[in-house]
């Protein structure tokens, strides 16, 4: 069995379970919720469909991001439309459908912005570590435990903070918000720790990126015959931002932050201009009369657009810098042309930073 096959089946089971939970929640007859503010149900709609999209994307049923977004949009519209059936006893509204689409938009932007570059250093090792990690029942149990502990800790902390600050928020609402934030933080930390541990194990055992067999010491795997370049095991010395050294922090870090800020300003300016123009079709979503919940959802979409633009710019800059990896040293800028390399990997004669070259010695094309 290939690495990740068992974990993919478990992940797909989780995706179907999430779909069933969301569908049941949106079609439960005469469901009444005691919400903290007007329009809070729009936030729940956006969060539910954002989570649903993020859970379904790794299943691999649809590998094209545009097709996946289109399928998710079609499902959200169908979900909202079926709530208008008489025997469901629910209300189908345009604003609920817009909130669903906003959640899917945020998830799609996150998928695009965080998509791994297969040509980036260490991508093959990280991908294999992920597949091997989700195959382990211990990893799923650790995620479940961290989810429970994060929910309890986050709920207790936020309820305590709300009591000390004497904020006019119901304890149940504070607990729900705190539990959601606690789950996100705890789950992310658990996955990062487990993934780094598995990645170190893959490198130590030199596992084949294709079949996961350990002990690969030649140009090809003895088990499956897949080619394994020497750069697969290359450990960079001083790279943290986008796989490039910290000395490029302005191009890879500071400039993208400025791009994200500019995009956010443009979105705010466009929103203000549309409010002033008083376009009738957009009035339910613009201006002070908008439900606070819907305004929060639209603000989240604006932040997601700005953040994804910044991440895209950062990854683009990093790819351009890495494209000169075998021409000049990324760490110190030393000219590497003519430097010796073995099995596609060489070292800078000035700072000993490793670099990759293709078989014919031409520069790596990273972009």
- H or E element, residue 267: helix 255-277
Q: Which token pair is 184?
A: 């996100």
pLDDT given at position 60: 87
| 38 and 74 assigned to the same domain | yes
Helix (H) or strand (E) holding 127: helix 123-134
Round to whole Å and give the CA distance between 101 and 280. Answer: 20
Please indicate, yes or no, if residue 339 is contained in any of the structural domains.
no
d(CA 265, CA 261): 6
CA angle (349, 355, 361) in 5-degree steps? 95
Which residues touch 156 (CB under 8 Å, ≥6 apart)? Answer: 175, 178
215 & 299 share domain: no
Residues spanned by the domain of 104: 5-240
Rounded Cα distance, 52 and 22, in Å: 8
**Domain termination residue (choose one: 217, 240, 263):** 240
Distance CA 64, CA 216 (A): 32
Tokens for 122, please give them. 């260490």
Q: In the chain, count of helices (H) and strands (E)?
A: 10, 5
The reported pLDDT for the residue numbered 258 is 93
Report the chain (367 residues): mean pLDDT per 10 consecutive residues: 83 93 87 62 86 91 92 93 84 85 92 77 82 90 93 86 67 75 90 90 86 82 81 58 71 89 88 61 56 77 90 84 72 73 71 65 38
Whole-number Cα distances in Å, 331 to 111, 238, 249, 348: 30, 7, 12, 9
- pLDDT the model gives residue 19: 94
Integer-rounded Cα radius of gyration of the chain: 24
Q: Are strands 354-356 and 345-347 parallel, antiparallel or unpaired?
A: antiparallel
Does any domain span residue 351?
no
The strand pairing partners of 245, in sequence order, are: 239
**Residue 333 within a domain:** no
**Residue in the block written with tokens 């606070």:** 292
**356 part of a folded domain:** no
Is residue 334 one of the residues assigned to a domain?
no
Q: Please, are residues 7 and 135 in contact by the beta-carbon 8 Å criterion?
A: yes
367 in a domain, yes or no?
Answer: no
H/E segment holding residue 47: helix 40-56
| Domain end (from 211, 240, 269) | 240
**Based on the domain organization, do 230 and 289 belong to the same domain?**
no
Within this chain, do residues 176 and 308 fall inside the same structural domain, yes or no?
Answer: no
Q: Is the residue at 203 inside a domain? A: yes
231 and 245 assigned to the same domain? no
Contacts 24+ apart (CB under 8 A), 262-267: 263/305, 263/306, 263/309, 263/310, 264/302, 264/303, 264/305, 264/306, 267/302, 267/305, 267/306
- Rounded to the nearest 5 degrees, what angle is found at the Cα of 50, between the Cα atoms of 45 and 55? 130
d(CA 283, CA 289): 8
- What count of other Cβ atoms lies within 10 Å of the Cβ of residue 10? 14
Are both 164 and 40 inside the same structural domain? yes
Put residue 90 in one of left, alpha, beta given phi > 0 → left and psi -120 to 50 → alpha. Answer: beta
pLDDT recorded at residue 367 = 33
Q: Give the pair of three-digit tokens for residue 7.
A: 């974990």
User: Does a structural domain hold residue 359?
Assistant: no
Residue 135 contacts residue 4 (beta carbons within 8 Å) = yes
- Does residue 253 sit in the same domain as residue 224? no
Q: How far apart are CA 179 and CA 155, in angstroms?
A: 4
| Last residue in a domain, options 221, 240, 259 | 240
Number of structural domains, the chain?
A: 2
Same domain, 58 and 70: yes
258 and 236 assigned to the same domain: no
Question: Residues 153, 229: one domain?
Answer: yes
The reply to whether 35 and 73 lie within a common domain is: yes
Domain identity same for 115 and 45: yes
């Amino acid at each position: 069995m290939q690495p990740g096959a068992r974990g993919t089946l478990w992940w797909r089971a989780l995706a179907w379970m999430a779909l069933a939970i969301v569908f049941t929640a949106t079609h439960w007859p005469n469901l009444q919720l005691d919400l903290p503010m007007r329009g809070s149900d729009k936030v729940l709609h956006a969060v539910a469909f954002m989570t649903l999209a993020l859970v379904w994307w790794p299943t691999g049923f649809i590998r094209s991001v545009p097709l996946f977004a289109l399928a998710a949009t079609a499902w959200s519209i169908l979900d909202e439309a079926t709530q208008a059936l008489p025997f469901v006893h629910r209300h189908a509204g345009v604003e609920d459908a817009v909130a669903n689409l906003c959640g899917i938009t945020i998830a799609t932007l996150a998928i695009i912005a965080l998509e791994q570059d297969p040509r980036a250093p260490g991508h093959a090792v990280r991908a294999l570590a992920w597949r091997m990690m989700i195959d382990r029942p211990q990893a799923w149990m650790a995620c479940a435990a961290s989810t429970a502990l994060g929910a309890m800790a986050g709920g207790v902390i936020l309820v305590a903070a709300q009591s000390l600050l004497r904020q006019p928020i119901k304890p149940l609402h504070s607990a729900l918000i705190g539990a959601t934030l606690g789950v996100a933080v705890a789950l992310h930390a658990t996955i990062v720790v487990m993934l780094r541990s598995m990645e170190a194990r893959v490198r130590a055992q030199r596992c084949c990126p294709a079949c996961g067999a350990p002990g690969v010491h030649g140009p090809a795997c003895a088990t499956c015959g897949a080619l394994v370049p020497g750069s697969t095991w290359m450990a960079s010395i001083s790279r943290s931002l986008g796989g490039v050294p910290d000395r490029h922090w302005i191009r890879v870090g500071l400039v993208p932050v400025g791009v994200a800020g500019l995009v956010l300003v443009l979105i705010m300016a466009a929103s203000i201009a549309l409010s002033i123009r008083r376009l009738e079709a957009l009035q339910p979503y613009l201006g002070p009369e908008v439900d606070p919940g819907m305004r929060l959802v639209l603000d989240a979409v604006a932040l997601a657009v700005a953040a994804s633009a910044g991440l895209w710019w950062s990854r683009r800059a990093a790819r351009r810098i890495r494209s000169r990896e075998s021409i000049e040293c990324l760490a110190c800028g030393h000219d590497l042309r003519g430097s010796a390399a073995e099995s596609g990997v060489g070292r800078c004669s000035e700072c000993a930073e490793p670099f990759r070259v293709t078989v014919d010695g031409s520069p790596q094309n990273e972009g």
